[in-house]
Amino acid sequence: MSSDRVDVGGLTQRLSEIFYDQALGDISISVNDEILPKTEDPLKEESKYGDCYIFDYQDFENPRPGSEKDVVRLEHDFCELNFNVYSDYLDLTKQQTLDVLKMAAKKDHTRSKCFVCCFLTHGAPGKLLMHDKYIKIDDILKCFSSCKSLEGKPKIFIFQACRGGCCEEGVPCDSTDSDSGSVTDIPDFRDYLLIYSTYEGKISFKTKDEKREENNHGSFFIDELCRTLEQFSGELDLLQILTIVNYRVSHFYLSHTLEEEFDKKKQMPCFISRLTTQVKFNRQIPMFVSNDTRYFDYRRSFSRKTILKVIYLPVLLIYGQALLKEVIKEMN
């Protein structure tokens, strides 16, 4: 009888990369941005994976400076994943946005494997704020419901936006809330994947809100989404990657804002999948390295220790000194 051998050491290391990301080490922030050299593209003659549109809205009464950092990060990752990236859409009005979406839906996507669309803006339950007025998320999705060349293909929408004015307090448990969503329950929305930086009714944090932080580095969610894509796009499917993103954002970050009511709060991303096929890029891409990613490295390390102190420590006091000693050891 033969037996299979399992590389326990290798498995442990991989789980550590996914859930603990212990390679934070000594973190320093430099003033010079750099992107690792691009790897030689062995598939440059291959058809593009699909189109990726990125819409960025910054010019509001309550502006969103630093959002361009998220645009650059998304551009990098989706270009490396062999997408056609269209990102010259800054501060469009509602009608201009709809015009671009309708134009995109009329294109021939026959050779594409999927379609991606990203929105970086302010939001409210079920809608996004354009330069002049709100647009319903359903109206965005409906632009593609009749696109024949995208039938049966994944249509992926990424939303970096608030979905209400409440904060996630954070609790020491293993469960997460499901998202109510706003997508009408009709067959036209088959093969859609909606990726939200937070769930219904909650705030989505950005670094512009940070205490004593003069620079704007982008958003925690987009950094973690791109970081995880860069780590695992060559081996995991997209839903597995998004599950890791949910874990990391909800465990590694705690807000550190100027307003006390929004300080030391959590953020829980979510996604709604109506996919009928697997999305797997099978393409390892280089890590994006910059002053902004180094800042997020620092914030992840800082937040982990703060979370232990603020949320978990009081609970551990109830369960005994043995657990308390382990937590204190972890914080040090």
Catalytic residues: 122, 162
Rounded Cα–Cα distance for residues 54 and 115 (Å): 12
Rounded Cα–Cα distance for residues 276 and 272 (Å): 12
Rounded Cα–Cα distance for residues 157 and 329 (Å): 42
Express the helix, strand and coil content of the chain in percent, nearest 5 each: 40, 15, 45
Kindly state the helix (H) or strand (E) to which residue 118 belongs, with its residue range: strand 114-120
Rounded Cα–Cα distance for residues 56 and 42 (Å): 31
Rounded Cα–Cα distance for residues 265 and 253 (Å): 9
Q: In terms of Cα–Cα distance, which of 103, 111, 108 is closest to 53?
A: 103
> CA distances (Å), 66 to each of 111, 216, 253, 290, 296, in order?
35, 5, 18, 14, 14
Would you list the DSSP string of 244-311?
HHHHHHHHH----BSSGGGTT-B---EEEE--SS--------PPP-SHHHHHHHHHHHHHHHHHIIII
State the angle between helix axes of 67-80 and 220-232 in degrees (0 to 180), rounded to the nearest 10.
20
Would you list the DSSP string of 3-58?
-----HHHHHHHHIIIII--TT-S----S----PPPPP-TTTTSPP-EEEEEEE--
